[in-house]
Chains A and B, each alone.
Chain A
Amino acid sequence: KAGVTQTPRYLIKTRGQQVTLSCSPISGHRSVSWYQQTPGQGLQFLFEYFSETQRNKGNFPGRFSGRQFSNSRSEMNVSTLELGDSALYLCASTLAGQETQYFGPGTRLLVL
């Protein structure tokens, strides 16, 4: 099976803009979790979607949002970008009823 894919792989934005990142899970996986990875804060959980519903949410401001489509693909959106939003954004997919999370390659976002 194809692994988790994320697009775009790299992105440069300026402060105040918004950005949308996409994640396609492994075929058959219905859970998609998003994480932010930075050198200072490490890997932090953003949110999880399962069957088009947000099932878990981390401690990020409301500028960070997400959604999931009927084919399990997920998007996350960050509005009013700040310099501190520069990070590697990783998504991970999980088969229903299982716990193993498989990560995508990530989208590296740079905010100038």
Chain B
Amino acid sequence: GENVEQHPSTLSVQEGDSAVIKCTYSDSASNYFPWYKQELGKRPQLIIDIRSNVGEKKDQRIAVTLNKTAKHFSLHITETQPEDSAVYFCAASSPGGGNKLTFGTGTQLKVEL
């Protein structure tokens, strides 16, 4: 089955700096890659997603890039703010129909003042 690896597990940046989180996946047939943000005690919330027919997608300070050949995708957050502090999860959809996401192990992002 699909396996998703995520790095780093923790990331500390200064406010205003950029943060990059990287994920790799194993199944070349995977075609949907969402990123979720989970604040302490809250539900995961989708922040951005990308499909395999697109190489890059941007939404204000957040961008995701996908390299299908290398089977990796990355989340980029620019001009980080304290409210960006949370755990971020990448995921990949397993092929075969339906909605089954395989998640990475998460990155604890801390934005320091």
Which of B's residues lie within 8 Å of A, judged by CB?
A: 1, 32, 34, 36, 42-46, 49, 51, 89, 91, 93-94, 96-106
| One of A4, A45, A50, A55 near B101 (C-beta < 8 A) | A45
**Is B43 touching A101 in the complex (CB atoms < 8 A)?**
no
| One of B32, B44, B49, B102 near A103 (C-beta < 8 A) | B44
Interface size bracket, A side = 20 to 34
> Nearest-CB distance from A8 to chain B (Å)?
15
Q: Which residue of B lies closest to A105 (CB)?
A: B43
> Nearest-CB distance from A67 to chain B (Å)?
16
Say whether A28 faces chain B, with CB atoms less than 8 Å apart.
Answer: no
Given contacts A42-B89, A99-B93, A99-B99, 12 further A-B pairs with CB under 8 A are A31-B98, A33-B100, A45-B100, A48-B100, A55-B99, A56-B96, A59-B1, A90-B43, A90-B44, A92-B99, A103-B43, A105-B43
Q: Which residue of A lies closest to B97 (CB)?
A: A55
| One of A50, A90, A100 near B98 (C-beta < 8 A) | A50
Q: Which residue of B lies closest to A102 (CB)?
A: B46
Could you list some 30 contacts between A and B, CB below 8 A? A42-B103, A42-B104, A43-B89, A43-B91, A43-B101, A43-B103, A44-B103, A45-B101, A45-B102, A48-B98, A48-B99, A50-B99, A55-B97, A55-B98, A55-B99, A56-B94, A56-B96, A56-B98, A56-B99, A56-B100, A58-B100, A59-B1, A90-B43, A99-B49, A99-B51, A99-B99, A100-B49, A101-B34, A103-B44, A106-B43
